[in-house]
Structure formats: C-alpha cells, structure tokens
Amino acid sequence: MNQSFGLHKEEKTYGMLCHLLAFSGVVIPLGNILGPLIIWLLKKDQSSYVDMHGKESLNFQISNMIYSIISGLLIFVLIGFITTPLLFIFWIAFTIIGSMRASEGNGYRYPLTIRFFK
C-alpha cells in the first residue's frame, strides 16, 4: 500500500512512532504492543493516517508475538532454533521499513500479518 497522503509533519511523526515504539519491547515486557497502542489510542481520532499506521503496527506486533510463541515451542522439536532468530530478524527489518514508510508519508502493509484491527 503506497498511497500518499497530504500530511502535516506531526502526523508523519506519530505514524512513524506507531512503528518505532515497538522496539521498546526489547527492554519492556509487551512494550512492542503497548508503545504502538498508546500512540494509536491517543491520536487515532485526530488523524486517519495515524489510525491506519497504528492499526497496521498493532496487527503486525500481535501477529509476530503469536509467531514467536509458536517458534519458542518449536524449540522442543529443534526447528525453533532456526525459526526464532529468523523471526527476530524479520521483526526488526519490517518494523524499520514500516517506520520509514510512515516517515515518508506513505501507507504500509506488513507481510504475513493477521488483521485483528481493520
């Protein structure tokens, strides 16, 4: 989804934060969901752009958490030792891409994402 929006700089910043705050999950338990959720809840009614990026980020972070739990369980059958690091790299790369697209003023859809929020 590469649609361009006529946006204020503040909207781009909040859209980008919806993605970047997912990295707080590295130091804060569930921060990868709480960070984007807080920005989305505060700004979704003020900007359709932030609403879109907030939902997209939350959908990806929740999906990734589900995939991570499954991957962690797969460690018991050894394949998790391969899928877990790959999933972590996937998470970092696509979170950065989503952040960059938001800062550019473009829409973005994460791959392999379950759409909990539409």
pTM above 0.85, yes or no: yes
The string of DSSP codes covering 59-88 is: HHHHHHHHHHHHHHHGGGGSTHHHHHHHHH
DSSP-derived 3-state class of residue 106: strand
Where helices occur in 6-113 by DSSP H, the ranges are 9-20, 31-43, 48-73, 80-104
Rg over CA atoms, the chain: 15
Residue 110, phi then psi, degrees to nearest 5: -70, 145
24-46 confidence digits (pLDDT tens): 999 999 999 999 999 999 999 99
Each domain of the chain, given as residue ranges in start order, spans 9-103
59-86 confidence digits (pLDDT tens): 999 999 999 999 999 999 999 999 999 9
